[in-house]
Structure 1
């Protein structure tokens, strides 16, 4: 981001918010404690402590919660959702851009179809009949199995494995395990992010499906034939067993486990470490081992983490 200089007024105009204070130059996003000139920050919690911190750094620009009205002497705007507005500003003015390039150490099957402006990282393996949409990024050491389809504007982080055989066996009369071959693949929608060292197994007879706008954290496992609905979040170290149906805008917490063939309704929230052994209805907050209903959600979006 070296060399980027944005007027505070341009950011305020982009957010359609009033600018308070000097129209200074903004050059980098920073945490609230930064004393650097031109630092861009956000404050989502109102407290005397943060008022002192913000006002002690007069050369920064803060996207502040509207409860800060009349409390700040530094350049700022007042927002109903500072964290969201901060994210929008970062995407618009400080995007992370990868080159349109296939690294020389990548192995790409000649039958694969790659869209425009794609980055393929070091040591990536892309097998036959894979399709990857425009503007997608596949980082280093990723393996993408036969027939996987990845949409536009996706990010696949390093070390992930997508579309290889999942775990499936049947024992014969002598107790010998007979493999249940997997003939499906994985279909991934647009604007999907898959975290580092995550695994998405291919379907057995039909595809495992990850719908548009799904965000999957690092170290997540998703088994064969699972469907993850649009806009859902699956957080680090969660384990989703086979043939699970996850609705739209679901939030599944860290280290949660979901038993095979279970259904989770739209807008549900599964708590940290929950063990889901039976269906979870729409809009329900469920936690514990075994998971049980705690309450209904107050809103239909995932929880915010404010700093």
Structure 2
């Protein structure tokens, strides 16, 4: 539990009201009650302040007079809420040491923790305070930076690098072979050895069951501060710039380069060998088929509609080529017409 003046001392902001008010958790405007700290991140929900039962609220400067509740005024209430939530919900402490059922062939610092059934192969370099959860496998020569945490059943293939303070959620696979094959004349596929690595920077979070393939020749690189949601596929030799966020079920094909501070919406697809500039937003469900060279928001999908309307509209799309041909013929006829001719 924190007093409001303690929160402001930790995180800044302007305190309006009783500094001794104590709060124990953060909550939404609708669900907050006694002892809760609510937040108003979007002005369109301002009317809900009137009925809010929280002990205090976080608001932007333009909303400071919309409530009589004790309040913390800050430029970005949503970011402030996130930082308060971190204070209230620190990661659970994990005792250092190696579980009796773990198999460890590498030297570990005394502060590291290795869970039940995990394995760490020879040559791995594990930093201070690293947590390797139950069932994880760390391949030979892997490097994991200080303070990183791997939840249960994460697999890191040989030679890959994970930076400091990273979080890898359950089932993530780092460094599996990329999809590299050459097709022979008889139709059979010849495997191309994937000899690159995956190199992950500091402060990266990788969601559950997300897969990041190792490079074919060069490395697959994930920049500092990147946030990856669950069930994402990142193919070989992809490079993702720092502080980019990628939502769930995105597929990124090989050798694509994505800039810094981008946001990729859920279920988007990006084909291979493209370049995407810094500060690009790709909307959910968009298929990116060509490089994007300028910052901005890009969307390529159809809104949902009743099935009969979709069938009718698609029928028109099927005849689009013939419609274009007819328009061209009409234009050519107009071009040939005598401009002096009159009715």
- TM value normalised by structure 1: 0.88
Query: Are 2:142 and 2:158, in contact at CA under 8 Å, matched by a contact in 1?
Result: yes
Question: What pairs up with 1:264-283 in 2 under 5 angstroms?
Answer: 264-283=276-295
Aligned to 1:104: 116
| Structure 2 residue 219 is the aligned partner of structure 1 residue 207 | yes
| Structure 2 residue 27 is the aligned partner of structure 1 residue 30 | yes
| Structure 2 residue 189 is the aligned partner of structure 1 residue 192 | no
Aligned to 1:49: 47
Aligned to 2:78: 83
Aligned to 1:302: none
Tell me which of 96, 108, 121 is aligned to 2:133.
Answer: 121
- 5+ unaligned residues in a row in structure 2: which ranges? 97-112, 303-343
Displacement, 1:11? 1.0
1:106-161 CA deviation, whole Å, 9 max, x = no partner?
11113211101111111111111110000000001111101110000000011111
- Give the SS at the match of 2:38: strand
Displacement, 1:66? 2.2
**Range moving further from structure 2, 257-266 or 95-104:** 95-104
- Give the SS at the match of 1:249: coil
Aligned to 2:59: 64
1:232-270 CA deviation, whole Å, 9 max, x = no partner?
111111100000001111111111111110110011111
Aligned to 1:179: 191
- TM value normalised by structure 2: 0.79
Aligned to 1:304: none
Aligned to 2:16: 20
1:39-74 CA deviation, whole Å, 9 max, x = no partner?
1221112345312232xx15x221112232222122
Displacement, 1:289? 5.3
- CA root-mean-square deviation: 1.7
Identify if the C-alpha distance between structure 1 residues 226 and 48 changes in structure 2 by more than 3 Å, giving closer, same or farther. closer
- Give the SS at the match of 1:187: strand
- 5+ unaligned residues in a row in structure 1: which ranges? 291-307
Between structure 1 and structure 2, the one with the greater Rg is 2
Hey, which bits of structure 1, 4+ residues long, moved more than 6 A?
A: none
Tell me which of 251, 254, 263 is aligned to 1:242.
Answer: 254
1:72-130 CA deviation, whole Å, 9 max, x = no partner?
12221122210011112233454224424211211111321110111111111111111
Aligned length: 283
From the two aligned structures, give the one with the greater helix fraction.
2
2: CA distance, partners of 1:53 / 1:155: 38
- Give the SS at the match of 2:50: helix
Question: What pairs up with 1:150-165 in 2 under 5 angstroms?
Answer: 150-165=162-177
Tell me which of 6, 26, 31 is aligned to 1:10.
Answer: 6
Displacement, 1:21? 2.2
2: CA distance, partners of 1:211 / 1:48: 37
1: CA distance, partners of 2:248 / 2:174: 17
| Structure 2 residue 140 is the aligned partner of structure 1 residue 144 | no
Structure showing greater relative contact order (alpha-carbon pairs closer than 8 Å, 6 or more residues apart): 1
